[in-house]
Structure 1
Amino acid sequence: DWPAFRGPNRDDVVIGESLRTDWDARPPKQLWKHPIGSGWGAFAVIGRRAWTLEQRGENELCVCYDIETGRELWLHADAVRFSSPQGGVGPCSTPTVHDGKVFTQGATGILNCLDAATGRRVWTRNTLEDAGSPNLEWGQCGSPLIVDDLVIVNPGNNDEASRAKRTSVIAYRRETGEKVWAVGGRQGSYSSPHFTTLRRDVHQEILSAERQVLIFDGLGVVALRPETGGRLWEFAWINTPQVNSAQPLVIDENLVLIGSGYGKGSVLLGFLPQVDEVGGRHLEVVERWQSAQFKLKFNSAVRRGDFVFGLDEGMLTCLSLKSGKRLWKQGRYGYGQMLLVEDKLLILTEEGDVVLVPATPETPETPRELARFHAIDGKTWNHPVLSRGRLLVRNSDEAACFDLR
């Protein structure tokens, strides 16, 4: 199953799947393809059902599809419409499916809890109203995060003048929608909340497990306690437009990689245990390395072993996690998205092609593609999903499902 943005661990790593590479001899079978409402989010998948957000006319929808046939099973509509000159029309986030419910945050801040089987609305909130904030330029893009009995979202905009007056992260009770805690003082941006546990430093000193929610916003990354919203640590990472959109990448529960575009690049953060004057323990954030050669605009990186792979302003790039050194940069795929499947990268390019590339640190003499086929037409910024051998792809024009087995 693929129940949330970037998968069960929100890291774009596919577990338990294998990919053949003989696509020229045996092309992937198209199960279905049809038009879809506008939007830049992905699918969430449980069993034979897939959910995604779309804009159709004046309504923002959550639509449930049969993954085998593409048949629409149900839809929930909210009478709102979002558009921006650069980003286009429609929502950007991905539904989160948990315990028989679908949680969605639309581009205008409507947070819904829906029955996964029927689409019946269980509860709804307006996160921008709760935050006391106007919208971002490209709308609310964060996909809801489930931690225990909470739904955590990061609404808000990047207006510095009103920062102190508004809320920037909110936790709601999962069953009822009741607000549990809220914290402010941050700049809004387009990355989604990410849950992790940091356990030890790079020298393998054992720490008590620190559960935390990472928020990568316009000011950088901040770690919050999921139970209360209390701040654990923060690190400033600001680019000129104060836009951070890629997801933090947690490495072995002791390192965090963050990156952005606009000429900024990436930084690898480590953590050292410290004890203050009154005996309190905390984590000190330390930079392991910075690289201006790994600019992740809104295309998140994936990790295999001691190496990370990402699209540096559209070009496939491999970095050493130990040194931050760029090992190679080859192949232009635009602002597409990727999955790691065993030892292969599955890339959905900005032009709608699906490409397989070895996830290796070895420098290829030429761009080394294992296989490629054209999946959908139109500009494609959406994340692909692979579940039980079924590849789901979409953009703002059409959606399709292919059997890769």
Structure 2
Amino acid sequence: MPTEIHSPRKAPLLKGATLVLALLIQWTLAAADWPQWQGPDRDGVWTESGILTSFPATGPALKWKVPVGMGYSSPVVQEGRLFLTDVVAAQPIIHERTLCLSARSGKRIWMTQHDATPPEWFFSPAQLRGPGATPILHGGRVYGLSMFSVLKCLDARTGTVLWKRDLVAEYQLPPSSLDASPLIDNNLLILSIGGRPGAGVVALDLSTGREVWRALSESATWSSPVIISAGGTRQLIVWMRESVTSLNPTTGAVYWREPTVSGGSPGFSAVSMPVLRGDRLLISGLMFQLDQTKPAGKVLWPDTPSGTRRILSDTSTPLFRDDFIYSPRSGGTFVCLEAETGRERWQTNAITGLRRGASVHFIPNGSSLFLYTDRGDLIRAELTPSGYRELDRAHLIDPTSPLFEDKFAWSAPSMANRNLFVRNDQELRCYSMAGNSRPSRRESKR
């Protein structure tokens, strides 16, 4: 990344202008990266300009594709490099890998591999899968969780292992994947792991992996933690199986807690993340009113402690826009809800096809909105309180993950440098999303 622009003229005015320009270039390049789950601000918003406002007749152009192994984790991109975790199974062994590729070409730069011998049940068709947690990039390092919960810190340039922790052994975890993606706050790596004793959430020192604090005697979901500012306080929000809890991100101290969001069901897991809008915090189908004078929250709706009533979708993070919420339900119907009451405004099956377990990843980009579905489709659409209007649709990748006698593409897309990256259990694809001025196929017919 450029840090200085050289000029043969050394006039002070030019020096000042050069410095400003260099800083602007640095900021622009940094803004084009996608260094963690759901992007720079962990909210799925794509801030780059110059993105497609209509799809070509054949859809976005495929730039490259490469074979990869199994996994639900998303790629992350920084300074022209793409990082991805996967699993390649060769019974009785699995190869847990971290790949570093050129984001421009897909060419491999380096790969690290850890071989494990899982229980025999892992190789059954219903259980065979790869890692779910998306790596995070920071300070020239890659922090990632393997399929069997080995946490590694790697040198992003070379792939050298700088430190690692076996979370299963250290925190008495079951031998299965941790799917909540890690979060970095200052010098802490924060993970929702459901460990024992009292290690539902842990914070580790970024440099060494040493534990700094632990909190909560609760089981983890697949929901990734976020940090919000409310009540004059920075709060770490975690969705565990037994509660939604607000913690002090520096110490792990509990600010407030709402129990039984999922009913504590041992079979329950959810991907949906907390979404903050003003003084409202939405977590799946549970709306909180946050206190603006202190770190505290109370349930606004629904007016029941039932876990099933408080779940809107366990596979999607809702879009909270203005005074309305857009999301698939767990049963497959896509709905619009009033944010004030939770009352349903409208529903449609056009996006999700009424598929149980259906997921949608929302990608706001300027005045445009993209939806990426578990069918591997990218949709450009308008969502308003009046209804759903589809503008473009393109099929990007085939669904390969089996569930309910169906197949899904559950990995969230990643966006960087006007490209969109998608994966399934077989390949990783890069599509150009650089803008054009042509009308879409549907708009040209009107």
Q: State TM-score, norm by structure 2.
A: 0.77
Q: Does 1:75 align with 2:111?
A: yes
Name the counterpart of 1:383: 412
Please tell me whether Structure 1 or Structure 2 has the larger radius of gyration of its CA atoms.
2
Residue 390 (structure 2) pairs with residue 354 (structure 1): no
The 5 A counterparts of 1:134-283 are 134-135=174-175, 139-156=177-194, 165-199=197-231, 209-236=232-259, 237-239=261-263, 241-242=265-266, 243-252=268-277, 254-259=279-284, 266-272=285-291, 283=295
1:5 shift after superposition: 0.4
Post-superposition offset of 1:62:
1.1
Higher helix share: 2
Q: 1:95 to 1:316 in 2, by over 3 A?
A: same
Question: Higher strand share goes to which structure?
Answer: 1
Residues 221 and 241, structure 2, Cα contact 8 Å, conserved in 1: yes
**TM-aligned CA deviation for residue 69 of structure 1:** 0.9
Distance 1:173 1:348, change over 3 A: same
**Cα distance between partner residues in 1 of 2:369 and 2:56:** 18
Range that drifts further, 97-106 or 345-354: 345-354
Superposed CA offset, 1:185-214 (max 9, x none)? 112221112122213xxxxxxxxx211211
Deviation at 1:350, TM superposition (A): 1.8
| Paired residue type of 1:246 | V
Instruction: Please give the alpha-carbon distance, in whole angstroms, between the structure 2 residues aligned to 1:233 and 1:89.
Output: 35
CA displacement at 1:128 relative to structure 2? 2.5
Deviations 1:298-357 (A, max 9, x none): 211223333222222333322222332222222232334332223433222222221111
1:10 CA drift (Å): 1.1
| Displacement of 1:18 | 5.0
Per-residue CA distance 1:20-47 (angstroms, 9 max, x = gap): 3432436311101232110011011113
Residues 209-252 of structure 1 deviation map (CA, whole Å, 9 limit, x = unaligned): 21121111101211111111111111121247352413333323
CA RMSD of aligned residues (A): 2.3
Which SS does the other structure have where 1:13 is aligned?
coil
1:92 aligns with 2:110: no
Aligned-partner SS, 2:168: helix
Q: Judging changes above 3 Å, is the alpha-carbon distance between structure 1 residues 273 and 392 closer, same or farther for their aligned structure 2 residues?
A: closer
Match of 2:163 in 1: 123
- Superposition deviation, residue 167 in structure 1: 2.0
Q: Distance in 1 between matches of 2:227 and 2:423?
A: 26
Deviations 1:230-280 (A, max 9, x none): 111111212473524133333235321112xxxxxx111012368xxxxxx
Letter in 2 for 1:376: I
Distance 1:101 1:156 in 2: 25
Structure-2 residue corresponding to 1:160:
none
Structure 2, unaligned runs of 5 or more: 1-32, 304-308, 353-357, 400-407, 435-446
**In the superposition, relative to structure 1, how do residues 150 and 240 fare at CA in structure 2: closer, same or farther (>3 Å)?**
closer
Q: Tell me which amino acid in the other structure corresponds to 2:290.
A: F
Counterpart for residue 202 of structure 1: none
Structure 1 residues 81 and 211: CA distance shift in structure 2, 3 A: farther
Instruction: Report how far residue 130 of structure 1 moved.
Output: 2.4
TM-score, normalized by length of structure 1?
0.85
Q: Do the aligned residues in 2 keep the contact of 1:377 with 1:398 (CA within 8 Å)?
A: no
> In the aligned structure 2, how far is the partner of 1:112 from the partner of 1:130?
14
**1:305-344 equivalences in 2 (<5 Å):** 305-313=322-330, 314-330=332-348, 331-333=350-352, 334-344=358-368
Q: Is the 8 A contact 1:294 1:317 kept in 2?
A: no
Aligned to 1:9: 41
Within a 5 Å distance, the mapping from 1:38-57 to structure 2 comes to: 38-57=70-89
Q: What residue ranges of structure 1 are gaps of 5+ in the alignment?
A: 158-162, 200-208, 260-265, 275-281
The answer on whether the counterparts of 1:112 and 1:121 sit within 8 Å (CA) in structure 2 is yes
1:132 paired with 2:137, answer no
Identity percentage over the alignment?
27
The amino acid that maps onto 2:201 is: V
Q: Count residues with an aligned counterpart.
A: 372
Contact 1:338/1:383, CA 8 A, preserved across alignment: no
Deviation of the 1:144 alpha carbon: 1.1
C-alpha separation in 2, matches of 1:315 and 1:337: 15
